Amino acid sequence: MRVEVWDTTQDPERFIYRVQPASQEYYSADSGWVLWGGVLRLPSRVVSGLVGYDTSYVIRVWGYSPYVPPLSNNDVIGVSNEVEQAMLWHVRYEALEMLTASRDLYTQWQTRSGNTDTSLAGLNQQKSFAEQTWVRRSRAITRLRSEV
């Protein structure tokens, strides 16, 4: 969620700058930070700016939890009940979003699951409710994590 550079020689530690995510930068091969496959990739301008110094600068990453990505369908990830509920709320919203966005997918879903009594308008209403629920509850579960 957030990558920062801090100066640890100061007391208290001093914030230097925030590294922008690649999604908020102009497109290039070396724009902002990216988290892909559990690996944080930083732009070379940030890394080269820190290489010549001693260990006085620290890069802090906020907002990501150290969950191990599953490698197979049978893998189990140990998460708290709070995280499991958050995933269910988000998946519900995403599933309804996919159904309303794709006419072919909606038609297949409606006939295969016996949901011929569900109209597209009714599905849109369910999607709107799921979106509101997700937005409201995702704000409630967001919290800053501190270093351990």
Decide if 56 is inside a domain: yes
Confidence (pLDDT) at 146: 46
Decide if 88 is inside a domain: yes
- The two three-digit tokens of residue 76, written as one number: 């189990």
Confidence (pLDDT) at 52: 63
Confidence (pLDDT) at 148: 42
Statement to judge: residues 46 and 87 lie in one domain: no
Decide if 54 is inside a domain: yes
Q: How far apart are CA 148 and CA 144, in angstroms?
A: 13
For the chain (length 148 residues), average pLDDT per consecutive 10?
82 85 71 78 79 73 70 82 84 87 77 72 87 84 50
Statement to judge: residues 7 and 47 lie in one domain: yes
SS (H, E, C) the chain: CEEEEEECCCCCCEEEEEECEHHHCCCCCCCCEEEECCEEECCHHHHHHHHCCCCCEEEEEECCCCCCCCCCCCCCCCCCHHHHHHHHHHHHHHHHHHHHHCHHHHHHHHHHCCCCCCCHHHHHHHHHHHHHHHHHHHHHHCCCCCCC
Confidence (pLDDT) at 144: 44
12: buried, middle or exposed (CB in 10 Å: 19+, 13-18, 0-12)?
exposed
Name the domain boundary from 29, 62, 95. 62
Statement to judge: residues 91 and 50 lie in one domain: no
Residues of the domain holding 48 = 2-62
Decide if 67 is inside a domain: no
- Considering its fold, how many domains does the chain have in total? 2
Q: What pTM was computed for the model?
A: 0.48
CB of 50 within 8 A of CB of 59?
yes
Statement to judge: residues 51 and 87 lie in one domain: no
Statement to judge: residues 133 and 93 lie in one domain: yes
